[in-house]
């Protein structure tokens, strides 16, 4: 009864929580948002900011704690125009990045002047049982109005039974100028645990940008 009365006192007549219902004291008493919210909650594990960086690698935190990892890319800007942003996986903590991959890659594009638009499978951007770095989005320019943002999902990286599936999606602009919507999907053909990932441009540095790594809480 007392719980019901307390709850009622924190609601407006329209059933909306009053501003006083959530305060510093109540928030401080919460120790596990993921546990309260249930499965699927994103847990921020790491944030890296590029500054004329040759590459950005995540070599810790990828383990059996989570079945899915999500990387979010915010305003990734190259130092060199029309270069390729790419990734590779590692099974040895980042000592080498050369996991065998098979992938698919396609793009939708639209020019600012409306002179061209297309949806195309990019056969030159996929891999077939290759250890090479995989392209993540179409060429980005290095002007101030160029750059890219997007996300990358990696599933069950610690499995010792199954291959490691992944996909990415990016929005990027280049010097034409035009917008690209780039999709990549594939799998790392290994039953060894993936425990590190590397992101870089094929030439030149990552001039600027933020990459955040999240774990998806298990149900």
- 173 — alpha (psi -120 to 50), left (phi > 0) or beta? beta
Q: What is the pLDDT of residue 18?
A: 59
CATH number of 39-216: 2.60.120
**For a pLDDT cut of 90, what percent of the chain falls above it?**
73
| pLDDT 10s digits, 108-125 | 999 999 999 999 999 999
Domain segments of the chain as ranges: 1-30, 39-216
167-219 pLDDT tens trace: 999 999 988 899 999 999 999 999 999 999 999 999 999 999 999 999 999 87
Is this structure's pTM higher than 0.85?
no
Check pLDDT > 90 for residue 160: yes
pLDDT confidence band for 37 (50 / 70 / 90): very low
State yes or no: pLDDT of 89 exceeds 70. Answer: yes
- Answer yes or no: are the C-beta atoms of 163 and 188 closer than 8 Å: yes
Q: How far apart are CA 149 and CA 138, in angstroms?
A: 12
Distances (CA, A) of 198 to 19, 37, 82, 91, 146: 44, 31, 20, 12, 22
Q: Coil, helix or strand for 30? A: coil
């Amino acid at each position: 009864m007392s719980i019901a009365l307390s709850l009622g006192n924190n609601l407006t007549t329209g059933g909306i929580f009053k501003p006083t219902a959530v305060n510093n004291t109540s928030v401080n008493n919460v120790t596990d948002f993921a546990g309260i919210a249930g499965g699927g909650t994103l847990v921020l594990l790491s944030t890296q900011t590029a500054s004329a960086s040759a590459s950005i690698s995540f070599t810790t935190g990828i383990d059996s704690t989570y079945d899915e990892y999500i990387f979010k890319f915010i305003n990734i800007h190259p130092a060199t125009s029309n270069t390729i942003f790419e990734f590779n996986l590692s099974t040895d903590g980042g000592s080498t990045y050369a996991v065998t991959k098979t992938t698919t890659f396609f793009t939708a594009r639209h020019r600012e002047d409306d002179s061209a638009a297309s949806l195309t499978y990019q056969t030159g951007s996929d891999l077939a049982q290759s250890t090479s770095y995989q392209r993540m989005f179409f060429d980005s320019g290095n002007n101030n109005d160029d750059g890219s943002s997007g996300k990358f999902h990696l599933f069950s990286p610690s499995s010792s039974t199954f291959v490691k599936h992944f996909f990415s999606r990016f929005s990027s602009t280049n010097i034409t100028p035009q917008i690209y919507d780039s999709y990549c999907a594939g799998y790392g053909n290994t039953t060894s645990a993936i425990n590190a990932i590397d992101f870089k441009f094929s030439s030149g540095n990552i001039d600027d940008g933020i990459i955040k790594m999240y774990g998806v809480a298990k149900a």
